[in-house]
């Protein structure tokens, strides 16, 4: 298990049939009314930049800065974190692929069911922070599923106008299982990923914090002044590919690439090479 220096925050216990789990949880209720937002990290247990950033975000905001309620769950996959893996070692499942989970399943099914029922279902925005697993090499990006409903589309436009991220994927495809599920329930969802190969560099953590500030601001959940200097490149699809290192999982790494619809199908417009 990696030793991370993290600020202390309160905990909550998820009482699951497969065994209870204690995980960090805190919330800030703003002085002014506003939306309910949930921020998670550590869905992939080995994505440390996101885990650190989410802890620091809780320390960063105060009730006078927040409008509405912001909840922080900086380490969803506690078992994966202890094992140093993206997936849960208990049942071999990836929390991010289990949605919305179910009550009578294995550990990860239940955990995600608990997360959805307790903290996502009644939120109007879910921000999920990722940090590039021990297997992933990528260019930092913000990822949004192109929403079908008006209110969420308005927020997505605002975020595209204000974010300082260099790469945004405004995806036409329901890339993740929860994309269309959440959209049908009018819950806005933003996934952001910065960092790679299981590192937790300060610059990546700071980037995730700034992107979260901008996202919360675009949603009207915090008071914040954006000052971006450049427009992002907006892609409408992502793919990830394996490096040709055979079956040796220790050496096999994923590369993320984004694909623009203006380019012929299958053309790679941004392939992110290994250092
Ligand atoms: Zn991830």
Instruction: Say how many Å lie between the CA of residue 24 and the centre of ligand 1.
Output: 18
Q: Which fold has domain 11-271?
A: Aminopeptidase (3.40.630)
Alpha carbons 108 and 257: distance in angstroms, whole number: 28
pLDDT band for 133, please (50, 70, 90 cuts): confident
Instruction: Say how many Å lie between the CA of residue 45 and the centre of ligand 1.
Output: 8
Which residues are close to ligand 1, an ion, with C-beta < 5 A? 44, 47, 130
pLDDT of residue 244: 58
Pull the structure tokens for residue 47: 């994505």
Instruction: Say how many Å lie between the CA of residue 15 and the centre of ligand 1.
Output: 25
Q: Is the pLDDT of residue 137 over 90?
A: no
Instruction: Say how many Å lie between the CA of residue 196 and the centre of ligand 1.
Output: 10
Residue with tokens 């953590």: 205
Highest mean pLDDT among 1-5, 119-123, 137-141, 170-174: 119-123
Mean pLDDT of 41-60: 95
Largest pairwise CA distance in the chain = 55
Provide the 8-state DSSP code for 96: G
Q: Percentage of the chain surpassing pLDDT 70?
A: 86
pLDDT of residue 242: 64
Q: What is the mean pLDDT of the chain?
A: 86
Mean pLDDT of 160-182: 87
Strands 238-242 and 11-14: unpaired
pLDDT tens digits, one per residue of 78-99:
999 999 999 999 999 999 999 9
Residue 121, classified by CB atoms within 10 Å of its CB into exposed (0-12), middle (13-18) or buried (19+), is middle
Query: Domain residues of the chain, as ranges?
Result: 11-271
Instruction: Say how many Å lie between the CA of residue 210 and the centre of ligand 1.
Output: 18
Mean pLDDT of 63-84: 96
- Per DSSP, what are the bridge partners of residue 13? 22
């Amino acid at each position: 298990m990696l030793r991370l220096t993290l600020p202390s925050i309160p905990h909550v216990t998820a009482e699951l049939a497969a065994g209870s789990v204690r995980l960090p949880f805190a919330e800030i209720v703003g002085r002014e009314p506003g939306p309910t937002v949930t921020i998670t990290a550590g869905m992939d247990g080995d994505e440390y930049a996101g885990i650190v950033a989410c802890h620091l975000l809780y320390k960063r905001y105060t009730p006078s800065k927040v409008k509405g309620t912001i909840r922080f769950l900086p380490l969803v996959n506690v078992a994966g974190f202890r094992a140093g893996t993206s997936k849960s070692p208990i049942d071999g499942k990836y929390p991010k692929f289990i949605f919305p989970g179910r009550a009578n399943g294995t550990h990860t099914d239940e955990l995600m069911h608990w997360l959805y029922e307790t903290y996502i279902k009644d939120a109007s925005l879910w921000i999920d922070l990722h940090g590039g697993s021990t297997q992933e090499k990528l260019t930092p990006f913000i990822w949004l599923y192109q929403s079908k409903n008006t209110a969420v589309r308005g927020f997505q436009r605002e975020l595209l106008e204000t974010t300082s991220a260099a790469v945004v994927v405004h995806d036409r495809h329901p890339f993740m299982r929860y994309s269309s599920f959440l959209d049908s329930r009018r819950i806005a969802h933003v996934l952001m990923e910065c960092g790679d190969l299981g590192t937790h560099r300060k610059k990546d953590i700071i980037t995730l914090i700034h992107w979260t500030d901008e996202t919360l601001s675009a949603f009207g959940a915090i008071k914040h002044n954006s000052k971006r200097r450049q427009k992002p490149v907006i892609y409408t699809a992502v793919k990830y590919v394996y490096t040709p290192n055979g079956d040796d999982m220790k050496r096999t790494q994923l590369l993320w690439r984004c694909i623009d619809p203006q380019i012929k199908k299958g053309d790679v417009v941004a392939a992110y090479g290994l250092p």
